[in-house]
Structure 1
Amino acid sequence: MKLLDTLHRWTGGLIGLVLALLGLSGTILLYEHLWIGVPGASDPLRGDLASVAVATEKLMAAPGAQGIIYADDRFGLHQLRLEQDAGAYASQSGEIAARWASQWERPELWIFDFHHHLFAGDNGEWVIGIAGLAGLFFIISGAILWWRTRRTFQLRLWPRRLSRPSIVMHHRDLGIVVAPLLLISIITGTMMIFRPFALGVVAPFGPVAETAKALDPPKYKGGPLAAKPDYTAMLTEAHRRFPDADFRILSLPREDGDPISLRMKQPAEWLPNGRTTLWFDAATGELLGARDALAMPLGAQAFNTAFPIHASRVGGWAWRGLMTVSGLSLTLLGSLAVWTFWFRRPKAAKRSARAALVPT
């Protein structure tokens, strides 16, 4: 038990700040649709084919256009993605409402980048994934360590005093109360970072190999990107295939020969941007293939629920409130753990004095 306590304290002291910042940034992102101050953000959604096609043709004609994240029920503006991290918000008729040359000009973009990549791309994802696995260890070991002190349980939102004993007691008691919410947040977050971990979590829903194959995008090859792709024809074909689905993300190929991809969201999908996907030849606009998210293996469908649960895109305000409690609790627990470990550790003299009183 002493070894477990030591491991819990040291890993918390070393990685607690990362978890605290992830909790804080994640909580802020839960409400980003409410504080992005751009005219038209609250416009009602016009998802009909004609409106989307007109806006798409207009926006994709912009120099350097790379794709569009379409407006939805929460955010009434299209997001145009341009080269070199530039972008713009546009009304659903295709009129530009705001531009930026870098993500640093838009708080919602750099907070998102921090929460998902720590401003470090793939390397940052590895750090976040390791922090997530450490978070699981904290929850399990913390519950074991709390059991010894369960008779002294007192729920407090803030420590009685900012002394080390008070903070440690607060840490244990608050931690055990929010442990179920933290478990959900950390498991779903880590699933999106580490594919092997995610496959292990959804393994009860179906064969792992089948799930992994379903999640990997098919490898289609076509011609080079046409000078003026017929986006209206692509959207029309997509709407014909999935008439009840909303248009979510249009993406141009990253390399010559790669297809244009279009993601859609069917009503039964939880994932806000959907996983129903169509691929078109970038040269001719011919449909190369389509994937119905609702026909994917059960394991893949279970994986697709991780993000909407993590980002509270299901469950309405009640679930968003619970995820807010989870994020703020992680912020508080992580930051106070780091502070007590590095700045409120027992003095060496006091530790020696206590050791001298222990009979040998």
Structure 2
Amino acid sequence: MKTLRLLHRWTGGLIGLLLAILGFTGALLVHEDAFLRATMPHAADAQRQDTATLAAMAAKVFAAEDRPRSIVLATPRLGLNKLAYKGEHAAYADQDGNIVQSWTSNWARPEIWLFDLHHHLFNGDTGEIVGGIAGLAGLGFVISGLILWWPTRRMFHIRPWPRMMKRAAIVHHHRDLGALLAPLLILSLTTGAAMNLKWFSQALRAPFSPPAVMEQASVAPKIKGGKLTKELDWGKIIGAAQARFPGAEVRTIGLPQKKGGLIAIRLRQQREWLPNGRSMAWFDPADGRLVASRDALALPLGSRIANADYPLHAAKVGGLAYRLVMTLSGLTLALLGTLTVATFWGNPTGVKRRKPKAEAATSVG
């Protein structure tokens, strides 16, 4: 138990602040759509999914001289389309294809750099891996914390804040709060680590589907497309995608990224939790002909379980109640991480400091 306590204390002191940052930024990102609806024109517009509107918008956006690579379409909670160009160039557009705001740096939009901090730690793929490892470390903290808390369970108290800002009170609050919200923390940390670390995700789903089977199911079709034509019938393309998956919501439209590539349309069927879905329809850019499709509901069980990571982690299901639950999870992680670092560096050894005894007064007679 002593070794576990030391390991829990030292690792928490070293990366607690990183976990606090991930928790706090995650709590803010849960409410990204609400922030945009309050600050951006047309963000509160009702979602339109009729073929005519989508086709007219795609034709207008992709006919522009500086056309984007892809479009993420409006949702029931956010009435803006997001256009992605090369690099950090992106834009918000209304559902008729009119640009509302454009930017060339992630720093121009708070929700963009906040996501970059939360998901990549401002360091691309390397930061993503570091964040995933931090998530695994956080899982270790929760499990070891529960073990350390168990002998003190009879002294359990529910407090949102320590009774006093002294080490003993902070440690007691830390253990009780961590134990109380352990299920939420485990959910947040596990899904976050699984999204960032492919090997961890595969290991979790291996009992349901072999990794090789899941990998093969996610491979794009090996079909060579023709040259992208400017006279594409977007109504025909989008209509074919909707006919392939009746009742599905069209979520993204992407142009070929290299020579011989295909137009990719991503859809979300009603039974899919992932906001942008995983159902796919691919089209030849030369004539708009449907050449391949993939039904997300027919993917291996392990892949379907993995597709629940993001909606559970980012509170994209469950409505306002679940968003508030995951906000609580993020803020709790931020509080636990911050106070851990503060108490650790205030006394790294954890040894109770004794006040020096006053020397006995002496007198000369």
Q: Tell me the TM-score normalized by structure 1.
A: 0.92
Is 2:256 the counterpart of 1:245? no
Determine the structure 2 residue equivalent to 1:30: 30
* C-alpha contact 1:64 1:83 (8 A) present in aligned 2: no
Question: Given that residues 274 and 307 in structure 2 are in contact (C-alpha distance below 8 angstroms), is that contact kept between their aligned partners in structure 1?
Answer: yes
**Judging changes above 3 Å, is the alpha-carbon distance between structure 1 residues 259 and 81 closer, same or farther for their aligned structure 2 residues?**
same
SS state at 1:290 partner: strand
How far apart, in 2, do the equivalents of 1:159 and 1:12 lie? Answer: 18
2:237 corresponds to which of 234, 237, 250:
234
Structure 2 CA distance for partners of 1:59 and 1:170, relative to 1, 3 Å? same
Is 2:292 aligned against 1:314? Answer: no
After TM superposition, give the deviation of residue 328 of structure 1 in Å: 0.6
Kindly report the root-mean-square deviation, in angstroms, between the aligned alpha carbons of the 2 structures. 2.0
CA pair 347-177 structure 1, distance change in 2 beyond 3 A: closer
Q: Which runs of 5+ in 1 are unaligned?
A: 354-360
Distance 1:178 1:192 in 2: 22
What residue identity is the alignment partner of 1:152? M
- What does residue 164 of structure 1 align with? 167
Q: How far apart, in 2, do the equivalents of 1:242 and 1:58 lie?
A: 25
Retained in 2: the 8 A contact 1:164–1:345? no
1:153 aligns with 2:156: yes
Q: 1:226 to 1:213 in 2, by over 3 A?
A: same
Residues 133-182 of structure 1: CA deviation (Å, up to 9, x unaligned): 10111111111111122222222111112222111111111000010000
**Residue 340, structure 1, aligned to residue 343, structure 2:** yes
**Paired residues, what number?**
353
Asked if 1:303 is matched to 2:306, the reply is yes
Native 8 Å contact 1:135 1:186 kept in 2: yes
- Give the conservation status (yes or no) of the 8 Å contact 1:222–1:257: yes
Query: Partners of 1:283 and 1:214 in 2: how far apart?
Result: 26
Map of 1:12 onto structure 2: 12
Aligned pair in 2 of structure 1 residues 347, 318: CA closer, same or farther (>3 Å)? closer
Task: Classify 1:317/1:152 alpha carbon distance in 2 versus 1 (closer, same or farther; 3 Å).
Answer: same
**Residue 352 of structure 1: CA displacement?**
11
The two structures have a TM-score, normalised by structure 2, of 0.91
Q: Secondary structure at the match of 1:277?
A: strand
- Give the equivalent residue in structure 2 for 1:53: 55
Contact residue 113 and residue 119 of structure 1 kept, 8 A:
yes
**More displaced, 4-13 or 93-102?**
93-102
Note if contact 1:211-1:299 (Cα within 8 Å) is conserved in structure 2: yes
Letter in 2 for 1:209: A
CA positional deviation for 1:107: 0.7
Q: Secondary structure at the match of 1:255?
A: coil
* Contact 2:159–2:173 (Cα < 8 Å) also in 1: yes
Q: Mean alpha-carbon deviation: is it higher for 344-353 or for 193-202?
A: 344-353
Q: Is this contact kept in 2: 1:158–1:170, CA < 8 A?
A: yes
- Name which of 263, 267, 272 aligns with 2:270: 267
Is 1:73 paired with 2:76?
yes
Q: Choose 229-238 or 286-295, whichever is displaced more.
A: 229-238
CA distance in 2, matches of 1:155, 1:145: 17
Q: Aligned equivalents of 2:125 and 2:354: distance in 1?
A: 43
Structure label with greater radius of gyration: 2
Of the structure 1 ranges 117-126 and 54-63, higher mean CA displacement relative to structure 2 is found in: 54-63
- Where does residue 362 of structure 2 map in the other structure? none
Cα offset, 1:351, TM superposition = 7.2
Instruction: Please give the per-residue CA displacement for 1:41-99, whole angstroms capped at 9, x wherever unaligned.
Output: 11111111110111111112230411100001010011111223112211111122222
Q: Is the 8 A contact 2:281 2:294 kept in 1?
A: yes
Gap runs ≥5 in structure 2: 357-365
